[in-house]
Amino acid sequence: MNSAQSIGIVWPGPAGREDIEETRRFVPDGVAFHMTGPPPRRHTDLLDGITLERLLRMPGDSNIEAAARELVPLGVAAIGYGCTSASFVRGVGGDRDISDRITAATGLPATTTSAAAVEALRSLDVRRVSVLAPYVDELNAQLRRFLEDSGFEVVHLRGLNKLGGIEQIPQEDIRQLVLQLVDRPDADGVFISCTGMRTSAILDSMEESIDKPVVSALQATVWDTLRQAGTAPNMPGVGRLYLQPVAV
């Protein structure tokens, strides 16, 4: 397969069937994708939950580069690191460190979820953003700081204080949270953080209801990885972001 028609995603841990299926919904027809994830360094990693301490350990782990190297023989043209919190937790520049290390290890262009979210929001002319984040307060504060340091005004951030189980939140519940508790009249758009938040089936309906863009973490990750691969991410049904004319 032509490498320009294939992208790779490094997941923050072992990628499950539902992770793969949700990611696939953001990949246009004619483009293949491959997904890999490093195993936990310690058997207790997954039991720790999504804490600030754990997230501060994750970004520097050489398992990220090792997982990215596994994608090279598969002919991918670009690689995305699919974890929002691990790429924003060290602040602006911490996201770039991860993608630079992936590029150094593979020779391929790379992005991270946090960097992709910034590019996605900018491409939609969102400057004042309202945020739904599943994390505990310490991580939500880091996310707010990252977005503000990236040039956005965070008009509201709704945290769910979850240590786990994010993938089990029903999409309709996420939709209702955005419509009732997250969106604000003074926000230009909404950002839904965490690639574990399932949103592929609700992006269009949320945008129609609030009449403004909604960017989700996994959507932005795949979108930016496609751009890095030189593929125009043009596909209906998964939000305004995918209908934007963008340079690749």
CATH of the domain at 146: 3.40.50.1860
pLDDT in tens, 234-246: 889 999 999 987 6
- CB contact at 8 A, 99 and 112: yes
Cβ-based neighbours of 168, under 8 Å, separated by 6 or more: none
Instruction: Give the number of domains in the chain.
Output: 2
Q: Which tens digit of pLDDT belongs to each residue from 128-160?
A: 999 999 989 999 999 999 999 999 999 999 999
Tell me what pLDDT residue 43 has.
Answer: 39
Nearest Cα to Cα of residue 65 among 79, 46, 49: 79
- Say if CB 114 and CB 12 are below 8 A apart: no
Whole-number Cα distances in Å, 121 to 52, 54, 102, 242? 25, 27, 23, 12
CA distance 180 to 185: 12
The answer to the question of residue 242 being in a domain is no
Considering the domain architecture, whether residues 87 and 135 belong to the same structural domain is answered as no
- Cα separation, 51 vs 61, in Å, equals 16
Q: For residue 172, what are the domain limits?
A: 117-216
The model's confidence at residue 42, banded by pLDDT at 50, 70 and 90, is: very low
**Mean pLDDT to the nearest integer, 113-142:** 95
Give the model's pLDDT for residue 55: 65
135 & 189 share domain: yes
**% pLDDT > 70, the chain:** 88
Residue 123 lies in a domain: yes
Same domain? 171 vs 102: no
Reported residue count of the chain is: 248
Residues 227 and 139 in one domain: no
Residue 243 lies in a domain: no
Q: Are residues 225 and 109 in the same domain?
A: yes
